[in-house]
Structures are given as C-alpha cells and as structure tokens.
Amino acid sequence: MEEQPLLITLWVNKLLGPSVARGLALLGIHHEGTSPIIPDHVVMTAVIVLLTILILAAIRRSLKMIPSGGQHLLELLYEYLKELVEDNIGHKGLKFLPLIATLAIFIFLSNMAGLVPGLKSPTSNLNVTVACALIVFLYYNYQGIREHGLLRYLKHFCGPVWWLAPLMFPVEIVSHLARPLSLSVRLFGNIFGEDMIVLVFFGLVPLLVPLPIMALQIFTAIIQTLVFVLLTIMYLAGAVASEEH
C-alpha cells in the first residue's frame, strides 16, 4: 500500500507543485502518477534547513557575554566539536569546523523530526543520507588534494612501500568508494527503523507505552549524529595528514 504523504507536503505541493512541474517539463521530465511531485523527504529537508536558519538567526541577534539558553547549548556544541577536531586533526582542522557543525545540527534535527506528530525524519529516507555522505566524500577528497596535490594525495593509496602499490591501490580505492555507502546506509537504517517502531507502537497503544521507545529514539538520534560526525572527522584527518619521514 502506498504511503500517504504528510499534510505539510500536500500544502507545499498545492502551493509550489505547478511551478515545479513546469520547470521539470522544460527539462524534459514529466511527473506521472498521483504521488506529490515534491516528496516528503524534500519538504522535510527544506523545513529543517529553514528552521535551523531561523533558530540560529534568533540566537545570533540575542548574543550575550554571559550565555544562556540556546546560546549556551550552541557554545557547548562548538567546544565539543572543536575538541574533537583538534584531537584528531590538529589546530589546522578548525577550518573544517563550519561543515562539521552544519552536518551535526542538520542531522540531529532531522533525526529528531520523526518525534513530532505529523512530521517525518528526512534522514529516514536514503536520498537524504546519500546526499550527506556524498558531500563528506567529495569534501574530504577535495581537501586532501588541496593539501598535498593530486599526485601526492594518490600516493597515499599506494601503501607504505612501492612494491605493494599494485595490491594496495585498488583496495584503497574500493575502501574509499565504500565510505559513502557505509555512512548513508548506517544513518538511514537506524533512523528508519526507529521511526517505524515508534509508528507501530503509536498505532497499537497510543498512550504511555510508546514513551520509552521515543526516549530510545532520542538516544539513537544523538548517537547516529555523533557517529556520522566522528567518521567525517576521521576521513578528513586521513586526507590531510602529513606524510611521515
């Protein structure tokens, strides 16, 4: 049975759907079927992005020397991520902090969205998690090439001694290409599973029983955000690491 779209998705499609359809038609893409042309995960991703911008803008306007409320939470997050980056990459890794913090905030809020009645977690859709993983993959490889140059960066894939290069190079290439798959499927699988469990329990027992499951989902949201961020930091650390002599 086809899953029913969210109410907010229906509203967005009513407002923007015709314009999107015309734009896609100009590209030779024609929408068929009864499903909304703008799917749930696109709408929810936009909602999370807009919500994040509004929250951060509000906190920025109310910055104080003595932090409180949202400012205090953001400063704690910043200090924690800064410590993670410095411990794994060093002081030069602070230039990567904007991307890492952005991913952390977006993924956490996306993971938590499934707890709000009438909404879904964007990260419970594989398209969203693949997009995040590809951003990380392209970014750390770009930074590695920028740090070492293309030839020296590719040399990292050849192993410690030259005669192992024919074996190590294809193994390393496959290993790196598998990273986006690992990042995306791990995040998608955990959040999708938690959302389904909460949905089933709400359908069966809509009152107190789902509460422990929801608490577990909050824990999972935090853990999966931390795992994604830690792996991103480790990939960046490996890409920009200086060669040992």
Q: Which of 147, 134, 40 is nearest to 92 (CA)?
A: 147
Residue at 20 is within a domain: no
Please give the tally of structural domains in the chain. Answer: 1
Residue at 100 is within a domain: yes
Give the span between the Cα atoms of 27 and 214, in whole angstroms: 43
Asked if residue 144 lies in contact with residue 237, where contact means CB atoms within 8 angstroms, the answer is no
Query: Is pLDDT larger for residue 164 or for residue 173?
Result: 173
Sign for the CA dihedral angle at 229, 231, 234, 235 comes to negative
Give the span between the Cα atoms of 120 and 39, in whole angstroms: 11
* Cβ neighbours, 10 Å, residue 235: 20
Identity of the amino acid at 214:
M
- Tens of pLDDT along 54-93? 988 887 777 776 666 667 788 888 899 999 999 999 888 8
Name the helix (H) or strand (E) containing 180.
helix 165-204
Residue at 10 is within a domain: no
Residue at 17 is within a domain: no
Tokens of 64: 């104080």
**pLDDT of 222 above 80:** yes
Query: Is pLDDT larger for residue 163 or for residue 244?
Result: 163
Asked if residue 198 lies in contact with residue 217, where contact means CB atoms within 8 angstroms, the answer is yes
Residue at 9 is within a domain: no
Name the helix (H) or strand (E) containing 209.
none
Asked if residue 136 lies in contact with residue 227, where contact means CB atoms within 8 angstroms, the answer is no
Report the pLDDT averaged over residues 137-161: 89
**Domain of 221?**
34-240
Backbone angles phi, psi at 109, to 5 degrees: -65, -35
Backbone angles phi, psi at 117, to 5 degrees: -55, 135
Residue at 218 is within a domain: yes
Q: What is the pTM of this model?
A: 0.89
Residue at 48 is within a domain: yes
Q: Which of 120, 83, 128 is nearest to 103 (CA)?
A: 128
Split at pLDDT 50, 70, 90, the class of 101 is very high
Residue at 135 is within a domain: yes
